[in-house]
Amino acid sequence: MPPITYHAPALHRRRSLVCYVFLVILTLIFIVATGFLITWIVTKPKKLHYTLENASVEKFNLTDDNHVSGTFKFTIRSQNPNHRISVYYNSVEIFVKFKDQTLAFDTIEPFHQPRMNITQIDDTLVAQNVPVSKSNGKNLRAQTSLGKIDLEVYVKARVRFQVGIWKSSHRTVKIECSHVTVFLSNSNQSQNSSCDADT
């Protein structure tokens, strides 16, 4: 009678190895999840707040063939209400738009916003003979006849959050300040605009 080969121990070892790997992965997931939960409980993160203030336009001009020129000035008020979280703004792009059409664009230097801090960003964006669509040109003429323009200001920033010595990975923050009314009179007054932020 030929010898009988019995493979049960090898099969048992393979199953034990699979179970061991599964337990290690499960343990790592639990540790990471617990770490995130503890960090959230300790830091109690609050949403960043942005407001657009002191918007004005100088030397605004709209030609007969729908080209726009002008100098747009405003202040973006950035509020970090967190007690333990600071923010690194590594790149910041700012757009002035009229009905989703960009009139002017600028970038500003990176900066760090500490905890419990309000930072004011003063910026000047220049539009030089920028073409706009026929419909937008018509709308701009209608608004300028009333002595004001309704604009939108968009900010796109790459940021990192810091808690103690830990820094998060980069993420993109999009800020939208809509219904920004600037007046063409010498007073250059404007109403403050609260901004929506995707943080």
What CATH number is attached to the domain comprising 64?
Answer: 2.60.40
Indicate the residue type of 78.
S
Strand 166-167 and strand 171-183: the pairing is: unpaired
Question: Residue 155: which domain range?
Answer: 49-198
- Which sign, positive or negative, has the C-alpha torsion 123, 124, 130, 136? positive
Mean pLDDT check: name the lowest of 70-74, 162-166, 188-192.
188-192
Contact (CB, 8 A) for 152 and 98: yes
Closest-CA residue to 183 (of 66, 67, 70) = 70
Q: Which of 199, 198, 194 is nearest to 52 (CA)?
A: 194
Q: Is there a single domain that holds both residue 112 and residue 186?
A: yes
Same domain, 34 and 58: no
Identify the band that residue 41 occupies on the pLDDT scale cut at 50, 70 and 90: very low
Q: What is the pLDDT of residue 44?
A: 57
Residue 114: pLDDT over 70? yes
**The total number of structural domains that make up the chain:** 2
pLDDT score of 56 more than 70: yes
Are 127 and 160 in a shared domain?
Answer: yes
Say if pTM beats, i.e. exceeds, 0.85: no
Give mean pLDDT, residues 167-184. 93
Q: Is pLDDT above 90 for 156? A: yes
Clarify whether residues 77 and 134 are in a common domain: yes
Measured between alpha carbons, how far is residue 102 from residues 17, 98, 105 in Å?
59, 7, 7
